[in-house]
Structure 1
């Protein structure tokens, strides 16, 4: 591709890529044309967002790209801190637990060489969660908490409702792997183990 062609593509296609990334995630399967343009223009995209303190995270094998806040170098006292553009989310225990369960399910499917798409019913997810949620006398309230966590995961883009399923059949989006890494899993598992030991002590 000639330099003139690249510059023309930047003029024509770069604005749409930048706007979509500022709005959310670019998926290969949902934004096929934008995805192809992003692969070709990713250097220009990275340069643009670096100026405003954002970093492009692109996983070509999994087919998604999104923006992350750059981590400031604390040792560089002369560098001005860029205001945070991407807010940090504080997750509740049910949402954190759900993300861990979904991430582990993805890892299990990958280890077995299973299908790239992992699809679960809402009832399956609820059953997974009930094994680790604190026991409550009010079962309806517990189910409400789990369903709220599921809906929040959908809002965050980690679960996707399949069409014509009335929201009861959900696909785990593989972008979850970028947010819940091995360290995050280990830290949450340690907290979960401590909670279970405490719960068993109370029952004795």
Structure 2
């Protein structure tokens, strides 16, 4: 039997998770209750076709659609699939690679990157354009989308600096990284073909 405080936390946790990612650093008041109530949260989510992904070490939790077992009736999707544009997908791959390199060097836990660093990396895989201003405008749109998806966090008072959110590791997993070189080759080829079409 849960007391009224636990019941309130349980409801708040479910609502927060339904709205998006719950971060330990941003949701301090809900993080400890989530750890204590995670079995109950998992049980509830399982009944509605979701699973709780909780990474205590990295400090985040989110819900994803549960895979349907053979013979099981598929429930309607509660977590929408997002079709990402080529540049946004490319930014995610490049940031994930940067995060892997950063982690292998040890030290600080927060990876901070500048807009300029991301733009320079991305430029290698996008078609050449004579219109630099247009490229930068598009870059802002792509970065805003990555921020909206929760993979980058714009630092307060430093519009051109971003923290790479560690949840990116869960979305761009080790399998993706093992195919990384092939993906980048594909992306580079895609960028070249767009460049040739534009001429």
RMSD (Å), alpha carbons: 1.9
Shift of 1:196: 3.5
Unaligned stretches of 5+ residues in structure 2: none
Instruction: Return the alpha-carbon distance in structure 2 between the equivalents of residues 109 and 100 of structure 1.
Output: 14
Q: Quote the residue 1:136 is aligned against.
A: 129
What is the match of residue 43 of structure 2? 47
- C-alpha change, 1:197 and 1:66, in structure 2 (3 Å) is closer
> C-alpha separation between the residues in 2 aligned to 1:25 and 1:195?
29
SS, match of residue 155 in structure 1: helix
Q: Look up the match of 1:158.
A: 151
Q: Higher Cα Rg: structure 1 or 2?
A: 1
Match of 1:68 in 2: 64
- Unaligned runs of at least 5 residues, structure 1: none
Match of residue 30 from structure 1: 26
Q: In structure 1, what is the Cα distance between the partners aligned to 2:118 and 2:91?
A: 8
Scaled by the length of structure 1, the TM-score of the pair is 0.87
Alignment of 1:94-109 (within 5 A): 94-109=87-102
By relative contact order (CA 8 Å, sep 6+), the higher-ranking structure is 2
* Distance (Å, rounded) in 1 between the aligned partners of 2:174 and 2:6: 37
Aligned to 1:19: 15
Change (3 A) 1:58 1:99: same
> 1: CA distance between counterparts of 2:88 and 2:61?
23
- Aligned pair count? 192
Q: What is the DSSP-based 3-state SS (H/G/I as helix, E as strand, rest coil) of the residue aligned with 1:41?
A: helix
